[in-house]
């Protein structure tokens, strides 16, 4: 089953990539599929930047069994990309060939606590996991309260804030491989490093278990409130943004390097370096994915010229540029 070339259509002043519709073929090959499978589905509304082209196929599985069934029957020549709430993501304007999988609903969004263990589906918001821990009187997971993403993204990039990281609290993660097989990975098997996991990129995380520390609920709430205050006063949380754009180099702060290179407020088209926090790029309302990515690369070049330090993207960029 080949993907073939994408077509193009014009609408509302924009050129939109259109891919061949593979839904009828796939549904015929997967009669027991329970999830939702759509063709040429816009991805911009699913990202915090609100930019980017469509997915050739967008699949929302009903649960982990449905996901395993889909992956096991999916032809191997069709690429698979997983997205969460789109908070740390640029989808390029030409969209994504293949299938984009977005986990959600009851099958992947639940959280619970038992003893000192907090369990969560990977579509659960990081903030919700912090809340579940707090309600159970478990400390150590407050840092998730300030991370704008899902547990799936936290596992993939070892998300962290306020001096704590996912590697500090994870017990194990469950995932499904490209052939539909379920796997369980210990903390050590995740291969965590700064903003990175060494786990097989083809694995799709479905759930995780975390260890908390019994703690006074008032103390936990105070810590969470402090995380929230810091975020609201230091970051442009009400803008169309993707969170921190670049990783902090060892011993350095990315925002300070960007500011020193004269990039505060810098613009490319409808994209701008935040005046509030230089390590955030924002869509002022009319930006394309190309604008945002070009702005990021311009910032990287200026920082390299000014300090000799080459910033590394923290935001994930996926898809094709629009020809």
Rounded to whole angstroms, the Cα distance separating 243 from 49 reads 10
User: Among 197, 207, 244, 274, which one carries the catalytic annotation?
Assistant: 244
Rounded to whole angstroms, the Cα distance separating 276 from 255 reads 10
Radius of gyration of the chain (CA): 20
Question: In the annotation, is 25 catalytic?
Answer: no
Three-state SS for 12? coil
Among 8, 35, 33, 39, smallest CA distance to 21 is for: 39
User: Among 195, 223, 300, 302, which one carries the catalytic annotation?
Assistant: 195
The full DSSP string for 74-131 is S-TTS-EEEESSSTTEEE-TT-EEEEEEE--SHHHH-EEEETTEEEEETTSBHHHHHH
Rounded to whole angstroms, the Cα distance separating 171 from 205 reads 14
Rounded to whole angstroms, the Cα distance separating 7 from 17 reads 6
Question: In the annotation, is 195 catalytic?
Answer: yes
Question: In the annotation, is 36 catalytic?
Answer: no
Q: What residues act catalytically? A: 195, 244, 314
């Amino acid at each position: 089953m080949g993907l073939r070339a994408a077509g193009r259509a014009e609408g509302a002043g924009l050129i939109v990539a259109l891919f061949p519709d593979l839904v009828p073929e796939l549904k015929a090959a997967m009669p027991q599929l329970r999830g939702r499978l759509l063709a040429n589905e816009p991805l911009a509304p699913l990202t915090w930047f609100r930019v980017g082209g469509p997915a050739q196929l967008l699949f929302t599985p009903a649960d982990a069994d449905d996901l395993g069934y889909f992956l096991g029957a999916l032809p191997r020549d069709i690429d698979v990309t997983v997205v969460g709430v789109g908070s740390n993501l640029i989808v390029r304007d030409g969209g994504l060939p293949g299938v984009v999988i977005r986990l959600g609903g009851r099958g992947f969004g639940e959280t619970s606590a038992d003893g000192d263990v907090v369990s969560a589906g990977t579509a659960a918001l990081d903030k919700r996991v912090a809340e579940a821990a707090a309600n159970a009187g478990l400390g150590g997971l407050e840092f998730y309260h300030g991370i704008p993403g899902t547990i799936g993204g936290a596992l993939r990039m070892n998300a962290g804030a306020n001096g704590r990281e996912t590697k500090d609290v994870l017990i194990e993660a469950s995932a499904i491989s490209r052939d539909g097989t379920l796997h369980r990975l210990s903390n050590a098997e995740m291969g965590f490093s700064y903003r990175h996991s060494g786990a097989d990129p083809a694995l799709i995380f479905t759930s995780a278990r975390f260890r908390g520390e019994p703690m006074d609920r008032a103390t936990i709430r105070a810590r969470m409130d402090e995380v929230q205050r810091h975020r609201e006063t230091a970051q442009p949380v009400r803008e169309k943004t993707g969170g921190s754009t670049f990783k902090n180099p060892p011993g350095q702060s990315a925002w300070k390097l960007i500011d020193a290179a004269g990039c505060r407020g810098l613009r490319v088209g409808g994209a701008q370096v935040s005046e509030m926090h230089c390590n955030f790029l924002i869509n002022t309302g009319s930006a394309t994915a190309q604008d945002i990515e070009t702005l990021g690369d311009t910032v990287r070049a200026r920082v390299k010229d000014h300090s000799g330090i080459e910033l590394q993207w923290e935001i994930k960029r996926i898809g094709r540029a629009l020809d």
